[in-house]
Chain A
Amino acid sequence: MEIKNTLTLSSFAAVAVLISACASSGVKNPSGVPVTEMKGDERGFVAGTGVESQDLVAVADKMARSILNVPQIANAQGTPRIALDPVMNETRFPINKDIFLTRIRTQLNSKSQGKVIFLARERMAALERERQLKQSGQVTSSSDPKLVEFKGADFLLTGKLQGLTTKTAAGTSDYVLYSFQLIDTRTTDIIWEDSAEIKKQGLEDAAYR
């Protein structure tokens, strides 16, 4: 009887071992490591991933606040006009380049209380067509359509995204530097520049390594 009990227990123990055994023994972090957002100057435990909405919001908000403190904007006599020049993407992440400037523009428009005016340069084709219609008399005009009233930009707002990537057996790390500039179009002076940096890192599941 004792032998029978022992054998039964042994069988169950063997089954338990068989079922609970894991084929990924000996593999480091088999379940992967979740993405962790870190400060740019923080030392990471592996390496990172792409540009996401939270980065856009954080970077654009920081830039918008910073621009409002520029003396040429804060103490301007008239209302400075700003044109946007597409951001240059030098990272490994394909992005919608206009989205950063759009976010900065909307932030400034909502918080600057008219301190700056943005020019709708990306709508120039449609605006020129409308002006031609007015000039040709095909549509009405509330002012002399022959006068050049399209405003020139006092400043050009632009930026650049640059990245550094590391990929090792320990994971992938991406550092992205977002830098923006406000350039005086008359003098080419860079009257303001600021940057933000984000570093991310993670490790995929062993099944994908």
Chain B
Amino acid sequence: MFHYLALAVILFSIGLFGVLTRRNVIGILMSLELMFNAANINFVAFNKYIITDGLTGQIFAIFIIVVAAAEAVVGLAIVLLIYRNWQGIDMDHVNIMKW
């Protein structure tokens, strides 16, 4: 189980690092997907080792994949708007989320 969790931590950390450091919005979205999948690995691992008889974790993982797909749609739509407004998708220039 340790190896699964370690894999998930590594994957989450890579995703988090990507979200925080990437300048490209597409990159950020991709890093987000990594973090989702880290969570999915955790669900599946816990389901296998803690709730031995049942599929709760797997079902949840599938839900997350569905939600991630929907989120990607919204995210890409926002990216499209950002592109139109800033003539680019560099996140450094997007600083309107303030007072």
Same complex origin of A and B: no
